[in-house]
Chains A and B, each alone.
Chain A
Amino acid sequence: MQSYQDLVHEVIDIIDHEIGVVDPDGTVLACSDTGKIGSSLPDTFIDHILKNTEDCFIIDQHTFRKVYSGQKINVFTYICSDSETAKKMLDLFSVSVSHYYQFCLSRLDRASFFRSIIMENLSEHEIVYRARELRIPVEIPRMVFLISVAGADDNACMSVLKNMFPDRVHSSMFKINASNYLLVRTIKEADRKKGVADIAHMVKDNVSSELMVDTRVSIGTESASLLDLKKSYQNAVIADITGRIFEGKEKVADYNKLGIGRLIYKLPEESCRIFLEEVFPGGSYKTFDEEMFKTIEGLFECNFNISKAAEVLFVHRNSVIYRIQKIQKITGLDVRNFNDAVIFKIASLVSKYLSYIDKQKECRI
């Protein structure tokens, strides 16, 4: 185990005897003499160790100590000396080993606990009970980030996330399926000030540049307690899907910033089809080109000031007017008029939504 070795490494300069960690079978897990890692202790040692009922004992000028996890012996530690000082050093080292083990355990559990809350149907009682056991506060603001990466090496992605958020008490991350990871993070005042979206952008840019993969990050809603953590996750999923439907370009989707897309996503398909047929009889919207949609976007952006929109779109004012007239010819909607513009914009979103649904159906067939 690499982590025990890290511990050994840290004390090597303080303790000038060989020191090590051995599992109950006698295999050396970590040792200041790195050559011994993975090897077995001599059989005579093992026999002695197993038979010995003391917590601390000396065999052949080696001092050993049992390190427990609950009632069970977890590992043995040893030092190559039988002096009193060496024994004290070993005692201290053993305390570290024990703490380290507990810490790893809780770290492991934290993530799997969050995973259970999100992916399984734990009862409220179970959540509260396990939270207490793991010493995880129930009522604390948390955010779920859904991180989608296409084709990254699992370990690498987890490793990047873990190192971006090394603070295990406030951040947990785990993989949920082939290309999705979750980051559950308690939200501190500083995060809120900086903006949760900033964290998402940071994750996106960092993961994609470290791993050279396309990365999307979706933000759920803030959950006030563990009991609504699942909801936060579900909202992150909705943000991911609606983001993909309505704003393909954006690599960060925030549930709280879905705009009209959120509403449309919840509409029954049938109503959408009727609405579209009503606004654009005979499917006339299929003849629209991107230019027309961009023009509308531009007009919205500039409060329907045509000159300004022309500036934003980098076209001549007359081109904007020409496009507006073209839209009017096809649809009868005069998008200089706010009401008509709203109808047009919603219709364009609905058409995006329907084409998403159609695609889903195609995939199923």
Chain B
Amino acid sequence: MAGVKLKNVYKKYESAHGGVMAVNDFNLDIEDKEFLILVGPSGCGKTTTLRMIAGLEEITAGEVYIGDKLINDVQPKDRDIAMVFQNYALYPHMTVFDNMAFGLKLRKTPKHEIKKKVYEAARILEIEHLLDRKPKALSGGQRQRVALGRAIVREPKVFLMDEPLSNLDAKLRVQMRVEITRLHQKLKTTIIYVTHDQTEAMTMGTRIVVMKDGFIQQVDSPQVLYEKPVNVFVGGFMGSPPMNFVKTTVKKDGKGVSLNFGEVEGSALKNRAQAVEAKAIKPSAIYLPAERGAKLEELGYVDKEVIMGIRPENIEDEPHYQEQYPDAVVEGIVDVKEALGAESYLYVKISDVDFTARVDPSNKFKPDDEVLLVFDPTRVHVFDGKTEKILPV
């Protein structure tokens, strides 16, 4: 068992036009026995990172360690790693026992050791009673477990899993997420798990690496990623439905510092101005709590553009919020209501900008209703308009 360390790791794929920097200055310390998740949109470099750890891809620059050992030049099969992919195939004519034993036989492991390891893995996976069965006689979930068993019997220092569940139907996927998490607790080994699915990352991970364009964006617990995203990308990527974003102008007046959108400036927006005139669009202003406003002013953002982010659950429809935050009330028009049983989403236009709000399922809203909503000003995220980085307010 061992941790994994990546130090200034780069991967460049040469191509006709210069090349693709698939992984960029990747620095990460994965602890021994940790369950680490790499998440990000397709093409962000997750698989490349995993393959470099496995040794299936050359490292352009930087160092990779397993435990204390620098493994840049160690052959993949000598790295003590097991990989689990999405397209597993059980050997159809072999029993579950033989399926799990196969890889060990290839490695010329002594018979009694094979037996011991297979039984141990079967015990962990709770498939001891299936050892004599052939794959045909197994359910989808049981087959998945056998597939995991084939990696477990090798007792690797590190497991690498590249979207192992993405071929499964929704129900089995949810079940296997739980099983893999549980498996990690039993195995107590390091697992690096790749997924493009933020829900999967959020439900399984204790520490998540969010990647984009080959760069690490943020490394943290699901909760911190959700509550304190470092930039617009992380805010928008983690969470479903995603965070709402709108470009706003910071203003200061007697009431304090506010974020404003749906305003009309200059003559270029004449039609829009007329629309506002006709009350079709109303400008919106969210006043920040005094302390946050003061910080924003201190940072020199008054009269500048910032991006406001707000999660659907922080747009409140209950009247008591209007009393609590009278200077953060906006008027919206309901577009669509989506009821999902335990929760309900309201798609609203506020100052002609689309927002998603999570509201109580008992609401009586209908399309075209005018609604008063409160942007919880303590929960509003403020990002720099250009760099899209979070502002410390």
Chains A and B belong together in one complex: yes
- A residues with a Cβ closer than 8 A to B are 151, 156, 159-160, 163-164, 166, 198, 201-206, 208-214, 248-249, 285-286, 288-290, 293-294, 314, 316, 348, 351-352, 354-356
Docked complex Cα distance between A214 and B21 (Å):
20
Q: Specify which chain B residues have a CB less than 8 angstroms from the CB of A293 in the assembled complex.
A: 17
Docked complex Cα distance between A159 and B88 (Å):
16
A348 touches B83 (CB 8 A): no
Q: Specify which chain A residues have a CB less than 8 angstroms from the CB of B76 in the assembled complex.
A: 212-213
B87 touches A348 (CB 8 A): no
A209 touches B91 (CB 8 A): no
A212 touches B55 (CB 8 A): yes
B308, CB-defined interface residue at 8 Å:
no
Q: Which of B13, B77, B87 contacts A205 (CB 8 A)?
A: B87
Q: Specify which chain B residues have a CB less than 8 angstroms from the CB of A348 in the assembled complex.
A: 16-17
**For residues 45 through 62 of chain B, which have their beta carbon under 8 Å from a beta carbon of chain A?**
51, 54-57
A-B contact pairs, 12 of them (CB 8 A): A159-B106, A164-B91, A166-B92, A206-B88, A209-B83, A212-B55, A213-B76, A214-B56, A293-B17, A314-B233, A351-B17, A352-B16
Q: Which of B16, B56, B88, B106 contacts A351 (CB 8 A)?
A: B16
**For residues 79 through 131 of chain B, which have their beta carbon under 8 Å from a beta carbon of chain A?**
79, 81-89, 91-94, 102-103, 106
Q: Specify which chain B residues have a CB less than 8 angstroms from the CB of A163 in the assembled complex.
A: 91, 93-94, 102
A289 touches B56 (CB 8 A): no
B18, CB-defined interface residue at 8 Å:
yes
Docked complex Cα distance between A173 and B127 (Å):
32
A355 touches B16 (CB 8 A): yes
Q: Specify which chain A residues have a CB less than 8 angstroms from the CB of B256 in the assembled complex.
A: none
Nearest residue (CB) in A for B307 is A316
Given contacts A163-B94, A204-B87, A205-B88, contact A210 B103 (CB under 8 A): yes
B86 touches A290 (CB 8 A): no
Q: Which of B15, B43, B237 contacts A355 (CB 8 A)?
A: B15
B20, CB-defined interface residue at 8 Å:
yes
With contacts defined as CB atoms under 8 Å apart, how many contacts are there between chain A and chain B in the complex?
Answer: 94
Docked complex Cα distance between A85 and B237 (Å):
77
Q: Specify which chain A residues have a CB less than 8 angstroms from the CB of B236 in the assembled complex.
A: 314
A212 touches B81 (CB 8 A): yes
Known: A201-B86, A314-B213. 18 other contacts (CB 8 A): A201-B87, A202-B87, A202-B88, A205-B85, A205-B87, A208-B56, A209-B84, A212-B54, A212-B81, A213-B77, A248-B15, A289-B18, A290-B18, A290-B21, A294-B43, A314-B236, A348-B17, A354-B16
B300, CB-defined interface residue at 8 Å:
no
Main secondary structure of the interface of A (DSSP, over half): helix
Interface string of B227-245 (1 = CB under 8 A from A): 0000001001100000000
B81 touches A205 (CB 8 A): no
Nearest residue (CB) in B for A313 is B41
B19, CB-defined interface residue at 8 Å:
yes
A289 touches B17 (CB 8 A): yes
Q: Which of B57, B77, B87 has the most CB of A within 10 A?
A: B87
B212, CB-defined interface residue at 8 Å:
yes
B350, CB-defined interface residue at 8 Å:
no
Instruction: Return B79 CB to nearest CB of chain A, in Å.
Output: 8
B56 touches A285 (CB 8 A): no
B373, CB-defined interface residue at 8 Å:
no
Q: Specify which chain A residues have a CB less than 8 angstroms from the CB of B91 in the assembled complex.
A: 163-164, 166
B306, CB-defined interface residue at 8 Å:
no
Given contacts A163-B102, A211-B77, contact A352 B88 (CB under 8 A): no
Instruction: Return A310 CB to nearest CB of chain B, in Å.
Output: 12
Given contacts A156-B106, A163-B94, A208-B56, contact A198 B15 (CB under 8 A): no
Q: Specify which chain B residues have a CB less than 8 angstroms from the CB of A151 in the assembled complex.
A: 75
Instruction: Return B385 CB to nearest CB of chain A, in Å.
Output: 10
Nearest residue (CB) in B for A297 is B43
**For residues 1 through 59 of chain B, which have their beta carbon under 8 Å from a beta carbon of chain A?**
13, 15-21, 41, 43, 51, 54-57
B151, CB-defined interface residue at 8 Å:
yes
Q: Specify which chain B residues have a CB less than 8 angstroms from the CB of A294 in the assembled complex.
A: 43
A352 touches B15 (CB 8 A): yes
A166 touches B87 (CB 8 A): no
**For residues 202 through 259 of chain B, which have their beta carbon under 8 Å from a beta carbon of chain A?**
212-213, 233, 236-237
Q: Specify which chain A residues have a CB less than 8 angstroms from the CB of B106 in the assembled complex.
A: 156, 159-160, 210-211
